[in-house]
Amino acid sequence: MLGSYRGLGGTFASFTYSCLDKKAIPGFHEKGLIAEAKLTEGGMLLVLSGKRTETELREIMDIAFENIGAFPGIGAEAKYIIDVKSKE
Amino acid sequence: MALKTSKEYLESVKKLAPRVYCGGKWVKGLLNNKITRSMVMANAAIYDLAEDPKYKDIMVATSHLTGEPINRNLNVARNIHDLDMRQEMALLTSQTVGTCNYRCVGCDALNSLASTTWEMDRDLKTKYNERFNKWLAFAQANDLAVSGAITDAKGDRKKRPSQQDEPDTFIHLVEKRDDGIVVRGIKVSQSGAIGSHETLVLPGGALREGEEAFALSFAVQNGAPGLTYICQYNAYSAEREACEEEAEIGNPVFGQRETSTMVFDNVFIPWERVFLFGETKYCGRLVSRFAKAHRMNCGGACKVGFADLIIGGTVLAAEYTGVDKVPHIQEKIIDMVRLSETSHACAIAAAMRGREEPKGSGVFLPDDLFGNAAKLNIAHGFWEIMKNAGDIGGGLVVTMPRLKDLEDPEVGPMLKKAFAAAAPADKRLKVAKFLQHWTSGLHGTGTWHGAGAPQTQRFMISVLTDFDAKKKMAKKLMGMKEE
């Protein structure tokens, strides 16, 4: 899925802490949503549990970023790339 | 986008999913829960005010960082006019929503941070002000609703933060990392974070050497994992949940003041959002500068807006009952105006006598003495105002039946006969319900403690008043020689 978000410096760190240490996606409180999360070179791989369409994944990320203080934005080169996938 | 519309704010709230517990259940959608929705609608109304050309001078300022128009709730006061418009905003917002402007504490917190981070950078060669300004420019550009959290749970008041059996009674550091810090602890009586985008967290008071772990100030995204909000719950909450129509409630759309207990369970804060880290020496002045701003705004303007609403309701009650020409009723109403306008005069004076603090920072803060006088005056005056509203409103304010019962085919005609006076029963009951909301609810104690309990204002007034100068001038006039 493709989508660009802009936030204050440290937003990516907030997001990765949530996913890696808290095992939670901002804005989602149910347990087990994250099947796999790991840092990659220049970003992060995030695999969500269950079978989800690209539209659903995009909706989840929209909510996640809004809750961590990043908003849809284009124009600048991406500093971090988050690869979001559905487990099934 | 420098100014959000209320529609855009409400759209953003639909995506916000903070972990909120309210009245025995977890809130799924802030707009789907009757109680949290009232808070969100109040915030939306504040966004609306900034869109109204009539209120542009009050609600819209120019960012000193970008030169762009911004909501005044995100403005750093740079002159006397800014301070004056800030207190006018507090008045206007209270008159409009009859509850908190939930961006108010955040506004006063960011002004204190602008001043104190500048001072820290000057003294300590830190980069807090630069960091804070980046955050502020981001908040302004996105017109974020920013609330403020100041009061720690505090635990046993005889003990210092580090001596508490339960360390979470104060926000404190858990871990220092390369990319940020991890914090935990509890803030209480927090207004409106649930429907805000971010919250500025300040220490709850002055700290001493050795208490560095508690010396923290930061901005937190309200959806940050680890953060839980437990909403206040009282009879008015239950009433809102139980009512068939919001029109039955005293303040139908915007409700009572909604606060929550904010529990930080290992919440990560990136360095970019940390504005004070361990500098105990600056905690006292950070909090006192916040209080200085907030006492002018909360005490001398916000509560005056509430008083305007109570006075309006009281005059209507007098007219509807047919006692509006009675001399002692008129006298009591004039007393209500005197009490509230005295506080507003103090707020205006606090703004007019405001000054740059510290020198060179470019940040203007109100006069402390007038601000404290405003708050102390309204803390006492508000009870008097409520008393007179209850007096003139009559026992009906607390003995009235349910408004909706007027529509009942059996008891409705009885109630209409019983309560019609100089106006029909529905008008009398509606205004009685409005006064019930103000006189028999949360506002007395809320006004007493908001911006600090009166004892803190007495302490500040005792510190700020030059009693020696007063003694000297008295002695001089008496012809008494100096010893």
B18 and A67: CB-CB below 8 Å?
A: yes
Residues 142-201 of B with CB under 8 A from A: 142, 179-180, 182, 197-198
pLDDT in tens, B413-469: 999 999 999 999 999 999 999 999 999 989 999 999 999 999 999 999 999 999 999
A26 and B12: CB-CB below 8 Å?
A: no
Does B392 reside within a domain?
yes
Does B374 reside within a domain?
yes
B contacts of A69 (beta carbons < 8 Å): 197-198, 221
Does B173 reside within a domain?
no
Does B338 reside within a domain?
yes
A contacts of B179 (beta carbons < 8 Å): 10, 13, 17
User: For residue A65, what pLDDT is reported?
Assistant: 93
In this complex, which of A13, A29, A69 lies closest to B179 when CB atoms are compared? A13
Nearest CA in chain A to B265: A22
pLDDT tier at A2, thresholds 50, 70, 90: low
pLDDT tier at A72, thresholds 50, 70, 90: confident
User: For residue A79, what pLDDT is reported?
Assistant: 85
Does B31 reside within a domain?
no
A24 and B225: CB-CB below 8 Å?
A: yes
pTM for the full model? 0.95
User: For residue A87, what pLDDT is reported?
Assistant: 85
Interface of A with B (CB under 8 A): 7-11, 13-14, 17-18, 21-22, 24-29, 62-63, 66-69, 71
Domain limits at B327?
285-465
Residues sharing a CB contact under 8 Å with residue B261, sequence separation 6 or more, in sequence order: B153, B186, B187, B188, B189, B190, B229, B230
Rounded to whole angstroms, how far apart are CA atoms B14 and B9? 9
The overall average pLDDT reported for chain A is: 90
In this complex, which of B16, B268, B273 lies closest to A66 when CB atoms are compared? B16
pLDDT tens digits for chain B (483 residues)? 689 999 999 999 999 999 999 999 999 999 999 999 999 999 999 999 999 999 999 999 999 999 999 999 999 999 999 999 999 999 999 999 999 999 999 999 999 999 999 999 999 999 999 999 999 999 999 999 999 999 999 999 999 999 999 999 999 999 999 999 999 999 999 999 999 999 999 999 999 999 999 999 999 999 999 999 999 999 999 999 999 999 999 999 999 999 999 999 999 999 999 999 999 999 999 999 999 999 999 999 999 999 999 999 999 999 999 999 999 999 999 999 999 999 999 999 999 999 999 999 999 999 999 999 999 999 999 999 999 999 999 999 999 999 999 999 999 999 999 999 999 999 999 999 999 999 998 999 999 999 999 999 999 999 999 999 999 999 999 999 877
Share of chain B above pLDDT 90, in %: 99
A67 and B198: CB-CB below 8 Å?
A: no
Does B221 reside within a domain?
no
Q: Does B134 touch chain A (CB under 8 A)?
A: yes
Interface probe for B, chosen from A5, A12, A17, A31 (most Cβ of B below 10 Å), is A17
Q: How many domains does chain A have?
A: 1
Does B15 reside within a domain?
no
Q: Does B413 touch chain A (CB under 8 A)?
A: no
Domain limits at A65?
5-86
Question: For residues A10 and B481, which has the higher predicted lDDT (pLDDT)?
Answer: A10
In this complex, which of B179, B182, B221 lies closest to A69 when CB atoms are compared? B221
Q: What is the ipTM of this complex?
A: 0.94
- Nearest CA distance, B178 vs chain A (angstrom): 10
- Nearest CA distance, A60 vs chain B (angstrom): 10
Q: Phi, psi at residue B211, to the nearest 5°?
A: -110, 30
B contacts of A17 (beta carbons < 8 Å): 179-180, 182, 268
Q: How many domains does chain B have?
A: 1
pLDDT tier at A1, thresholds 50, 70, 90: low
A contacts of B222 (beta carbons < 8 Å): 67
User: For residue B169, what pLDDT is reported?
Assistant: 98
- Nearest CA distance, B306 vs chain A (angstrom): 33
Q: Does B271 touch chain A (CB under 8 A)?
A: yes
**At B359, which CATH number?**
1.20.140.10
pLDDT in tens, A49-58: 999 999 999 9
Does B4 reside within a domain?
no
B contacts of A11 (beta carbons < 8 Å): 270
Nearest CA in chain B to A24: B225
